[in-house]
Amino acid sequence: MSNQSDIKLTEVALRDGSHAVSHQYTVGQVTSVAKALNEAHVPYIEVSHGDGLGGSSLQYGQSLTDELKLIEAAVSVTDFSKIAVLLLPGIGTIEDLKKAAGLGAKMARVATHVTEADVSKQHIETAKDLGMETVGFLMMSHMAPASKLVEQAKLMENYGADTVYVVDSAGALLPHEVKERIAALRQELTVNIGFHAHNNLSLAMGNTLAAIEAGATRIDGSIRCLGAGAGNTQTEVLVAVLERMGLKTGVDLYKMMDIAEDIVAPILPKPQEINRDSLTLGYAGVYSSFLLHANRAAKRFNVDSRDILVELGRREIIGGQEDMIIDVAAELAKAKAPV
């Protein structure tokens, strides 16, 4: 196991978890969660629409509250934790980034599909100019071999990313595949390497430990598993596991347990669990944030959401192609209609 004792956690419930609450976060909820996470000394708290800045739309899901208000609220109650924002070029813009920085966001995480890192250049460079810490976030990392990931990660490193993440958006990676990817990045890059898991195959914790063993020092978690699909690596559990391993996070375990139980659990519309739909995301290799949309399409077209997800996986549909969920559901409905 790595002898690194400085694992820096980013809590993503107020961003990735936005999918799980159908993008309905209120200022009150974000304020109470961010304030408590700050008191627990979580280094980074990500706040944005689930699909990043500018994500509120019919295509990605409309937010109840303007995300800039949520960012402002989180910044106003944090004096230890740094507020991070996610930006997917093409969904969010440089202007969105400037507004978030103006409100006090200190970290920009620029996310692209695993083979499209070149579109992150101007966003990473602008974030640097704004004085933000920068992260390159390579989504759907199961869709590319380690050699491709290295090539793409190097682009982000050259643009000025301080950290590059392997992002298992579908929760489809197996531990040996995580290890191979992180080890390759660790060998070829000089910047920090991070890992973001989804628990759809119940592998988020195992994969996270594999990533740490291979050299990752920046890890994402969602408290009470409040993330897309079956959620991410459960942050409070990770803090406990790392402490048992002698790896320091600086995060207060008891406080995290209390936040999970007393503040986050009451926010959840239903407990975060691996059910037939989230399991299918991991099994079929589908972007976790598609779950909400696939469920809605399944109801609308009276088809099995698993069939939609498996077909999306077969077609290798990726983030940004959410309109294909409706197409696939309509096609499945047509195929099963009596002639």
Applying CB under 6 A, which residues contact ligand LCEJXURD? Answer: 16, 50-52, 88, 111, 139, 167, 169, 196, 228, 288-289, 319
Tokens of 257: 């347990």
Sign of the C-alpha dihedral computed for residues 215, 53, 115 and 309 taken in this order? positive
Closest separation between CB of residue 310 and Mn ion, Å? 20
Closest separation between CB of residue 307 and Mn ion, Å? 23
Is 198 annotated among the ligand-binding residues? yes
What are the two backbone dihedrals, phi and then psi, of residue 226, each rounded to the nearest 5 degrees? -80, 80
Q: Do 47 and 257 touch, CB atoms closer than 8 A?
A: no
Size of the site for Mn ion (CB under 5 A): 1
Closest separation between CB of residue 196 and ligand LCEJXURD, Å? 6
Residue 192 binding target from ligand LCEJXURD, Mn ion, none, CB below 5 to 8 Å by type: none
196 beta partners: 167
Is 293 annotated among the ligand-binding residues? no
Closest separation between CB of residue 333 and ligand LCEJXURD, Å? 27
Q: Active site includes 19?
A: yes
DSSP 49-98: -TT-TT--BTTTB--SS-HHHHHHHHHHT-SSSEEEEEE-BTTB-HHHHH
Residue 298 binding target from ligand LCEJXURD, Mn ion, none, CB below 5 to 8 Å by type: none
Please identify, using beta-carbon distances, which residue of 37 and 77 lies nearer to ligand LCEJXURD: 37
Please identify, using beta-carbon distances, which residue of 77 and 140 lies nearer to Mn ion: 140
Is 262 annotated among the ligand-binding residues? no
User: Smallest Cα–Cα separation from 282: which of 334, 229, 211?
Assistant: 229
Nearest-CB residue for Mn ion: 16
Using the rule CB under 5 A, is 168 a contact of Mn ion?
no
Please identify, using beta-carbon distances, which residue of 84 and 303 lies nearer to ligand LCEJXURD: 84
Token pair 């507004």: residue: 99
- Angstrom distance (rounded) from CA 194 to CA 167: 8
Question: One of 19, 49, 113, 293 is an active-site residue; which one?
Answer: 19
Please write down the HEC assignment for all residues of 172-222. CCCHHHHHHHHHHHHHHCCCEEEEECCCCCCCHHHHHHHHHHCCCCEEEEE
Distances (CA, A) of 154 to 120, 187, 217, 240, 321: 12, 11, 17, 33, 26
Closest separation between CB of residue 310 and ligand LCEJXURD, Å? 19
Please identify, using beta-carbon distances, which residue of 88 and 324 lies nearer to ligand LCEJXURD: 88
Type of residue at 188: E
Please identify, using beta-carbon distances, which residue of 40 and 139 lies nearer to ligand LCEJXURD: 139
Segment near Mn ion (CB under 5 A), from 10-18, 23-31, 256-264, 328-336? 10-18
Is 123 annotated among the ligand-binding residues? no
Q: How many CA atoms lie within 13 A of 126 on its CB side?
A: 20
> For residue 121, what are the contacts with CB-CB under 8 A and spacing of at least 6?
155, 159
Residue 139 binding target from ligand LCEJXURD, Mn ion, none, CB below 5 to 8 Å by type: ligand LCEJXURD
Closest separation between CB of residue 171 and ligand LCEJXURD, Å? 8
Sign of the C-alpha dihedral computed for residues 221, 226, 227 and 231 taken in this order? positive
Q: For the segment 11-50, give every residue that binds Mn ion (CB under 5 A).
A: 16
Residues that are catalytic: 19
Binding site for Mn ion (CB under 5 A): 16
Residue numbering of the annotated binding site? 15-16, 169, 196, 198, 287
Residue numbering of the annotated binding site for substrate? 15-16, 169, 196, 287
